[in-house]
Structure 1
Amino acid sequence: MDRKSMRRKVCILTSAYYVFDGKIFHRHARSLVKAGYDVILIAQHDRDEIIDGVRIVALPKHKNRFQRITSTTLRSLLVAMRQKADVYHLHNPELLPVGVLLKLFTRGRIISDIHEDYPRHIMLKDWIPSHLRRISSLLLERLEMVTAKYFDAVTTPTDPLTDRFRCAKRKVTLYNFPLLGLFKSPGERIAGPNLEFDIIHIGSISQPRLSFMFDVGLELKRGGYDFKWCLLGTPPEIIRWSGSILDRYGLKDNFVLLGQVPHTEVVGYLNRSKVGINHHPPQQRFLVAIPIKLFEYMACSLPVVSSDLPLVRRFVKDQDCAILVRPDDVGEFAAAIGFLLDNPEKARSMGSRGRYLVENVYNWACEERKLLGLYSSVINR
């Protein structure tokens, strides 16, 4: 990168995601710093600071959704305008109007990062009155399309999502593949009797999906399995809700529900586990999604039991690293988990195959080149 481009300033905005989010901070922001950009990350945090070369400008933590959508979004705009950045990279749908104003009143380029199929996601939001969900979904989809034409680029994590934005000036699929540097090599994994969890699920989870996992756990227990199942990244309200359910099922000693931990600490939990779980029902938003947890399990040499969904199948079918089962079949999930617990050699073989695929194909290195290429084309257009 020449001296002029090294002075380019990038401002990344998120009004909702964790400041040290694996994608936003560890992959995007740190990759841009490494490439010589001056990177500012505007996100909810308790203080301004510089971490790994990323200058974090802290937003106050919101107390509820309304505050996030209103005052936090407004503050994001005001802070972003003061940065006078060359590129503004937006990571939440409520920031789309912010992007329009930044485009109007600054000379910055705007990149919209679409993390998932938000219009379909809205249809499942319990906090939105049912009679308002459809109109909210339609309005958001319209806003996404209008801003895609106006902004300088759109990025998404899957090809089906990217295909929605044919109207965009530039569009790039950046797969959420893991950073190999965050994951230990197979020889460094904690093994044998030191393993703390038989089963692990990482990432946020809803009540219906957690209920499904409790049903799978109950099926395992009926089958004679004495297991420990870790759910890492569970929202606080879901943890509170789960207590009485676990008591009723007699599973309190089998499930460990933990909240969010820094991305760099997730690997420690994976390395103390035997089987990684990816469960998503066959809803539209999941049919166009590729869960990062799938590749993070593989990076830690864990065999995977996953819902058999189109994009998941594309990456792991016939690769002998995962068992794909019908998304809503409790018995199939339990049987697949039981098989791996009963056959540790097969589980290790599948885990090694998954690690090989991440080392050689499914890692962030190729996606990083695409990210930097996008920035170069946006800045130099």
Structure 2
Amino acid sequence: MSVRGTIVMVASASVTADPRIIKEAEALVADGWEVVVLAWDRARRDPERIERDGWRIERVGPEAAHGGGPRNVAKYWRFWAEAAARCVALAPDVIHCHDLDTAIVAVRARRRLPRLRVVLDFHELYRESRALPQGGLPGVIARAAARLVERTAIPKADVVVTVTSAHVAYYERLGARRVVLVENAPDLDRYTVVDRREDDFVVSFIGQKRWITGLVKLMQAIQPHPHLKALLAGGGTAAEEIARIASTMERIEVLGRVEPDEIPGLYHRCDAVYACYDASLGNWRTTIPVKALEGMACGLPVIVTRGTWIGDFVEQHELGFAIDPLDVAEVEEVLLRLSSDRELAREMGRRGRAIIEGGLNWAAAARRLTDAYRGLAGEAGPGPDVVD
């Protein structure tokens, strides 16, 4: 296969812990592109250069802490400068920036490379997420800065990628020329149907631990019932505090950072998936939690937050329950309902798996990504940009 062109991806975190970036890079390599990922591995866990199958990861940026707030401003400037300079040196055909905090790299690089095509890949609504302070004067300043970056970068992008149809109109209002939906959907070959028939009932949370309150309420709901258990796996800014609290309770298993290849196997130890987040943040009201989709792919019922896009979706298709995660009694009630009626739980899981098999999977999402890139290369016939 002839090479279609070269892509430089930019990420503000370690790529080895981000399955979405890895899947996108692999899909594009399989479609004939050369890919280099510039990653700001702030904790310096990974080597400076990692060779993957047909692509590579290069580390840029200074050592820094996640969640450093204003203390990281100077380090962000250094990361943007280093990433832009390396991109210019590589002289790619396309720069593909993951999340809003890398968009400045594209703006800087294009000044030096006017013919550079720009793809902005938004994993979340950054200005309404925990990535930025939301309250007080720091929140006002941070959100204003994020909006400035949006208004500067989005109209200049050739393609904007989003993970949910709920965000399409938002980016169109900001001047996006073309919006392509690439859900963070599971790979059907990796996530297989769970058939666990044990007496205990295990509910899992597998992902970054950031919202302490929600996970504490889940742990509290489990305590009065000896047959209920929880598996809380993953790193995150709240990982240490969650582990400390869990150590004071019973039947709570806590695992730290897990590699992407370990995640599918963990679901086979579970009977339901807890995918609740803080709905006071606009980002979580409209996004699709990855763990909810993974749970559906594994044929498991999912528990999500009421009053959100995913909450409405789960209730409409009867895939599980939408709850108030701050109400311990309601969390407890749902867990008891699922654990006492295993056939109900299995039927909810079957409906979820059918939706994944019907098109809400990575193969379908990856085709939309590669079609968009073929359009950038001047090839005719790209598929639909957005699907419901």
Superposition TM-score tier, normalisation by shorter sequence: 0.7 to 0.9
Alignment correspondent of 1:71: 78
Once structures 1 and 2 are overlaid, which stretch shifts more, 142-151 or 320-329?
320-329
1:231-251 deviations in Å (ceiling 9; x for gaps): 11132x52322355345xx41
Identity of aligned residues (%): 23
Q: Would you say 1:36 and 2:36 are equivalent positions?
A: no
> Equivalent residues in 2 for 1:117-266 (5 A)?
117-121=125-129, 125=133, 130-166=136-172, 167-184=175-192, 186=193, 189=194, 191-193=196-198, 198-206=202-210, 209-222=211-224, 224-235=225-236, 237-246=237-246, 250-251=248-249, 253-266=250-263
Measure, in 1, the Cα distance between the counterparts of 2:167 and 2:349.
29
Higher helix share: 1
Alignment correspondent of 2:8: 11
CA displacement at 1:105 relative to structure 2:
0.8
**CA, structure 1 residues 325+94, in 2 after alignment: closer, same or farther (shift >3 Å)?**
closer
**CA, structure 1 residues 20+32, in 2 after alignment: closer, same or farther (shift >3 Å)?**
farther
**CA, structure 1 residues 218+20, in 2 after alignment: closer, same or farther (shift >3 Å)?**
closer
**CA, structure 1 residues 23+244, in 2 after alignment: closer, same or farther (shift >3 Å)?**
closer
CA displacement at 1:98 relative to structure 2:
1.2
CA displacement at 1:265 relative to structure 2:
1.1
Secondary structure of 1:317 counterpart: helix
Alignment correspondent of 2:363: 365
Question: What amino acid is the match of 1:343?
Answer: D
Measure, in 2, the Cα distance between the counterparts of 1:103 and 1:218.
52
Measure, in 1, the Cα distance between the counterparts of 2:27 and 2:142.
35
Which of 298, 302, 312 is equivalent to 1:300?
298
Question: What amino acid is the match of 2:279?
Answer: P
Alignment check: 8 A CA contact 1:178 1:296 kept: yes
Measure, in 1, the Cα distance between the counterparts of 2:63 and 2:190.
30
Measure, in 1, the Cα distance between the counterparts of 2:140 and 2:130.
8
Q: TM-score, normalised on structure 2?
A: 0.85
1:284-304 deviations in Å (ceiling 9; x for gaps): 221121111111011112111
> Equivalent residues in 2 for 1:308-323 (5 A)?
308-323=306-321
Once structures 1 and 2 are overlaid, which stretch shifts more, 103-112 or 11-20?
11-20
CA displacement at 1:276 relative to structure 2:
0.4
Question: What amino acid is the match of 1:342?
Answer: S
CA displacement at 1:165 relative to structure 2:
2.0
1:234-282 deviations in Å (ceiling 9; x for gaps): 32x52322355345xx41x322222222212100111111110011232
**CA, structure 1 residues 277+125, in 2 after alignment: closer, same or farther (shift >3 Å)?**
same
CA displacement at 1:330 relative to structure 2:
2.3
Alignment check: 8 A CA contact 1:177 1:362 kept: yes
Alignment check: 8 A CA contact 2:36 2:55 kept: yes
Secondary structure of 2:7 counterpart: strand
Secondary structure of 2:205 counterpart: strand
Secondary structure of 1:182 counterpart: coil
Measure, in 2, the Cα distance between the counterparts of 1:160 and 1:263.
26
**CA, structure 1 residues 123+79, in 2 after alignment: closer, same or farther (shift >3 Å)?**
closer
Secondary structure of 1:225 counterpart: coil
Question: What amino acid is the match of 1:10?
Answer: I
Measure, in 2, the Cα distance between the counterparts of 1:322 and 1:227.
17
Alignment check: 8 A CA contact 2:133 2:142 kept: no
Secondary structure of 1:25 counterpart: helix
Measure, in 1, the Cα distance between the counterparts of 2:31 and 2:153.
28
Q: TM-score, normalised on structure 1?
A: 0.87
Q: Would you say 1:279 and 2:276 are equivalent positions?
A: yes
Measure, in 2, the Cα distance between the counterparts of 1:21 and 1:357.
24
Secondary structure of 1:180 counterpart: coil
Unaligned runs of 5+ in 2: 380-388
Measure, in 2, the Cα distance between the counterparts of 1:330 and 1:68.
41
CA displacement at 1:49 relative to structure 2:
2.8
Measure, in 2, the Cα distance between the counterparts of 1:362 and 1:7.
27
**CA, structure 1 residues 230+68, in 2 after alignment: closer, same or farther (shift >3 Å)?**
farther
Alignment check: 8 A CA contact 2:273 2:295 kept: yes
CA displacement at 1:113 relative to structure 2:
1.2
Secondary structure of 1:348 counterpart: helix
Measure, in 1, the Cα distance between the counterparts of 2:78 and 2:150.
21
Alignment correspondent of 2:87: 80
**CA, structure 1 residues 92+320, in 2 after alignment: closer, same or farther (shift >3 Å)?**
closer
Alignment check: 8 A CA contact 1:197 1:228 kept: yes
**CA, structure 1 residues 316+242, in 2 after alignment: closer, same or farther (shift >3 Å)?**
closer
Question: What amino acid is the match of 1:95?
Answer: T
CA displacement at 1:29 relative to structure 2:
0.7
Question: What amino acid is the match of 2:126?
Answer: Y
Unaligned runs of 5+ in 1: none
Alignment check: 8 A CA contact 1:216 1:331 kept: no
Alignment correspondent of 2:383: none
Question: What amino acid is the match of 2:89?
Answer: R
Question: What amino acid is the match of 1:132?
Answer: P
CA displacement at 1:122 relative to structure 2:
5.9
